[in-house]
A and B are shown apart, each in its own frame.
Chain A
Amino acid sequence: MVNRIVVGAHYGLRDWLVQRATAVIMLVYAVAVGAFVLFAAKAGYADWQQLFSCTWVKVLTTVTVLALLWHAWVGIRDIWMDYVQPLGLRVTLHVLTIVWLVGSLVYSVKVVWGV
């Protein structure tokens, strides 16, 4: 393969948009949980368990975890693209990142939906 600079992947806008949208989802969730912590300062284990036993809280939490992981994927991939130049190593890191993020998602589902 000749060593030429190749650009023109024709994506970028989608990821840029995803990062902003997922950030808003995370912000809304953080404010909601923050409000719960603030207004229910004395909440114990039972209160937290009751809150997380609601299906809509589980759904919102899972959506937020998805948003977080998608957000993290775009950000971490950017870091690999900036700082890791050898192509083989970079692609390996991309794959490992995906495996780690998907693993985190599965584990988060087990935790959140196990309540």
Chain B
Amino acid sequence: MTTQTVKFRVYRYDPDKDAKPYMQDISVEVDTTTERKLLDALVKLKVVDETLSFRRSCREGVCGSDAMNINGKNGLACITDIDTLKQPIEVRPLPGLPVIRDLIVDMTQFFKQYHSIKPYVINDTPAPDRERLQSQEDRKELDGLYECILCACCSTSCPSFWWNPDKFVGPAGLLAAYRFIADTRDTATNERLDNLEDPYRLFRCHTIMNCVDVCPKELNPTKAIGKIKEMMLKRVA
């Protein structure tokens, strides 16, 4: 067993006790043979100080629960190597969303925007006996769109979402919107485009690509947003 001391500066805030948030300097010993990810160290940290609160579940980059701001950049703690991080590792909650406690944020606004794009296939033709089929080419259109795990790393790194979280759908929501616009089984394309033809909902995106920079699944919401704009253009031109 090889041990290593990992130094942290962790954002702490318990609204029941603290008047305002503060940064806590704390370190923890990790076994570098088995504990290589940031989440491993945070779990160890919770043993030292059990009042530290954060979300986590699958610990393999699939559930999207442990999204946080790590040394100034949003990411998933469970797939971030400790070795790649400058110490002390500054860990903060996702920016732009209300903090419930420590690293836990209120995601209501984020999911409200996600639901606003109707994230399900809408098809007004009679359902076939078995299932609605797609050709392999049509199915390929959904690659790079369906893999989103809704961790909110992208939307909370987007200044347009910080200023207008109630009106701008945000990169995660818009990626999902295009996922259904691109789906050949969906018949509500026009309504979906109408729903986004708005200076706030879609056009707050100014293509600064913070979303692409932080996406832990290496998806490209900017490209999807560009394709939505292209489809709108195709509709009028």
Contact = CB atoms under 8 A, between A and B. Distances in A.
B6 interface: no
A10 B203 CA distance: 11
B1 interface: no
B58 interface: no
A15 B203 contact: yes
B92 interface: no
B197 A82 contact: no
A114 interface: no
Given A7-B198, A7-B200, A11-B199, A82 B233 contact: no
B167 interface: yes
Interface residues of A, number: 15
B201 A7 contact: yes
A8 interface: yes
B148 interface: no
Interface string A2-37: 000101111111011100000000000000000000
A61 to B, nearest CB: 28
Interface in B114-161: 160
Q: Most chain-A Cβ atoms within 10 A of its Cβ — which of B199, B232, B233?
A: B199
Given A5-B166, A7-B167, A82-B160, A17 B233 contact: yes
Contact of B232 (A7, A9, A13, A83): A13
Q: Which of A8, A11, A12, A16 has the most CB of B within 10 A?
A: A12
Interface in B187-209: 194, 197-204, 206
Contacts of A5: 166-167
A57 interface: no
A11 B197 contact: yes
A53 B198 CA distance: 43
A16 B229 contact: yes
A10 B198 contact: yes
B111 interface: no
B3 interface: no
B178 to A, nearest CB: 15
B103 to A, nearest CB: 27
A13 B194 CA distance: 11
Interface in A59-83: 78, 81-83
Contact of B202 (A12, A17, A78, A81): A12
Contact of A9 (B164, B198, B236): B198
B22 interface: no
Interface of B: 160, 163-164, 166-167, 194, 197-204, 206, 229, 232-233, 236
Given A5-B166, A11-B198, A13-B229, 8 more contacts: A7-B201, A10-B194, A12-B198, A12-B201, A13-B232, A13-B236, A78-B199, A82-B164
Listed from nearest, the 5 A-B pairs whose CB atoms lie closest are A12-B203, A12-B199, A82-B163, A13-B232, A5-B166
